[in-house]
Amino acid sequence: MAMASEAPKDGFRLSMLIYDTRFRSFTIQVIVLILVLLGIAWLVDNTIQNLAAKDKDISFGFLWNRAGYDIEQQLIPYTNDSTHGRAAIIGLLNTLVVAFWGCIFATVIGVFVGVLRLSKNWLVGRLMTVYVEAFRNVPLLLWIIVVFVVTSETAPQPKDFKVTAEMIQTGAEPAAQKVLFDSIAITNRGWFIPGPLFERPLPTINLGSMSINLTWLAVVIVLVGSFWANRRVLRHARLVQEDTGIRPVTWWKSLLILIAPIVILLVAMGFHLDIPVFPTDDAGVSKGFNFQGGILVQHSFSALLIALSLYTGAFIAEAVRAGVLAISRGQTEAAYALGLRPGRTMNLIVLPQALRVIIPPLISQYLNLTKNTSLGIAVSYLDLRGTLGGITLNQTGRELECMLLMMAIYLTISLIISSLMNVFNSAVKLKER
């Protein structure tokens, strides 16, 4: 009996593209690809014609025009005379800052809550359940606005921190006090926190439109090198343990490698903290209307960060709880039989195995958190959405170009995060021999 998969005895015919099962799937794929490309081409051509009908074209030249607006939170130098392209970079950095710290805080909160939700203590377990249900069932936008209102409306004014002549005479204290060793002032204008200063900084290299601060570059290089050296020490200790069964003592080596290089570098550059204070006269009476020195953290940033961390932490907590429950209870009972305490059993036995279940949904939560930073526009936080997709778009009228740029940037960030987490997932997944 002749089979459809057998090689044809005759030469190739065009009818084989449809009736021969060996070529039919390729034919269908080529047809679908052509239809998709034709659809995209029609869409692009239709867009260009419609823009031309309104005397508009597609151009990204506006990125080199003067922006003309201020941005309060800046990680690199920027003025209103800078270009729209530089304003977009400022917004991108603000987005990355919120996303970076949000992922860290949300992970800590999620692991903590996820483990406590499995606690045998009835009250602790129910409190964690209330937190999870409250945050994941209320829209994130509402939490951002609520946190912003609470942090900005309930904080005292800067003048409440001032010391007057009457207070000095009567020995009274100001209406408000700074916290954390008298270093941080929480006001209705924002959080005034200590800022880093260097008495002997390294020079800055100017490269036209951008500059490289060698001081912070040296700090980053030393930190990365210290972590790399510590990983080498730990890897060597693990290999020795596998060969001899005895693990060398590494804690003092790790402390020395991680702390000594950065401390030596900071001391060499004269590092110290710039504490925010009110200027005073000779009698100690405060002058001016606001703090001087330090760094002002806007309420829009802190509210967005807090809301994102708590909201995403609720979803991560459920992923952690599911991962822990996926581990067989026999693992825990075996650890108890060996004499391990519950805390060490969770840290050494359960959580390392649960990571294989936790990481895939954790990647999705990191991506969601990064994209949700665009909601900061609700509290006037100038991230990528607020600069490129907000003020720049309104000033230039280049809505299509701005949207395309934002989509490309968010897509790139998401792919980078996904790739890094997939690498980490491959490192911790179960190795089959």
User: Rounded to the nearest 5°, which phi and psi values hold at 59?
Assistant: -150, 145
| pLDDT value of residue 431 | 63
pLDDT tens digits, 38-76: 999 999 999 889 988 988 888 899 999 999 999 988 888
Q: Pinpoint the alpha helices (H) of 269-350.
A: 299-325, 329-337, 342-345
Q: How far apart are CA 130 and CA 142, in angstroms?
A: 17
Q: Is the pTM value of this prediction over 0.85? A: no
Q: CB neighbours of 375 closer than 8 A, spacing ≥ 6?
A: 140, 141, 144, 304
Is the pLDDT higher at 56 or at 384? 384
Length of the chain: 433
pLDDT in tens, 289-325: 888 888 889 899 999 999 999 999 999 999 999 998 9
The strand pairing partners of 66, in sequence order, are 83
> Is residue 286 within 8 Å of 209, Cβ to Cβ?
no
Whether the pLDDT of residue 2 is over 70: the answer is: no
Position 9 confidence tier, pLDDT thresholds 50, 70, 90: low
pLDDT tens sequence across 393-422: 999 989 899 999 999 999 999 999 999 988
* Whether the predicted pLDDT of 16 surpasses 60: yes
Number of other residues whose CB lies within 10 A of the CB of residue 92: 19
Residue 193 forms beta bridges with which residues?
295
Closest C-alpha to 162, from 171, 175, 180: 175
Cβ count within 10 A of residue 375: 20
Token pair in block for residue 230:
């510590």
Per the CB < 8 A criterion, the answer to whether 183 and 295 are in contact is: no
Q: How far apart are the two ends of the chain, measured CA to CA in Å?
A: 44
Task: Answer whether CATH 1.10.3720.10 is correct for domain 84-160+298-428.
Answer: yes
Taking alpha carbons only, the member of 92, 143, 90 closest to residue 370 is 92
DSSP letters, 355-403, are HHHHHHHHHHHHHHHHHHGGGGGGGT--SHHHIIIIIIHHHH--HHHHH
Of the candidates 289, 422, 294, 428, the one whose C-alpha atom is nearest the C-alpha of residue 363 is: 422
Give the tens place of pLDDT for each residue, 266-278.
999 999 999 998 8
Kindly report the backbone phi and psi dihedral angles of residue 83, in degrees, each rounded to the nearest multiple of 5, phi listed first. Answer: -85, 165
User: Considering the chain, what percentage of its residues have pLDDT values greater than 90?
Assistant: 53
Relative to beta strand 195-198, strand 271-274 is: antiparallel
